[in-house]
Amino acid sequence: MRTLKVLEDQDFVFQGAMDLCYRVPINQTWLPKLPSVSLVFRGAEITVSGERLLYRVPGEIREKDSIHCFTFGNSELLAVEAYIIGHHHQQNVWVEYDLEKSRIGFAKVQCDIASQRFGFFR
């Protein structure tokens, strides 16, 4: 069984709220398969899995391990009570807002291809 080793550093917090972090050997090219997380909003659903659940923190090395953090943060660290769905979760997801009917929709998309097709540039 492949498991993740928890980063045992109570003072380490990434991007102000991500405090559940793991150590992964630098030469390891894979992460253990993680279960998907589904977020449901009154009928609209977005599923977060794989690399969108664990983010490799750039430049953070502990001994011979890179640091990966769970992308759902602890809002108590931000001094607010909130749930934040950030850019880690929305990568390659088309988000459509229907303001007239107060609805939101999600669809998988390859952003690089969509940006070319619609004339958007990075």
State the Cα–Cα distance between residues 78 and 89, nearest whole angstrom: 19
- How distant, in Å, are the alpha carbons of 35, 44, 50, 51 from that of 47? 10, 10, 10, 12
13-23 per-position pLDDT tens digit:
888 888 899 99
pLDDT 10s digits, 37-72 = 998 888 788 888 888 889 899 999 999 999 999 888
Supply the range of the domain harboring residue 31. Answer: 5-118
Total domains in the fold of the chain: 1
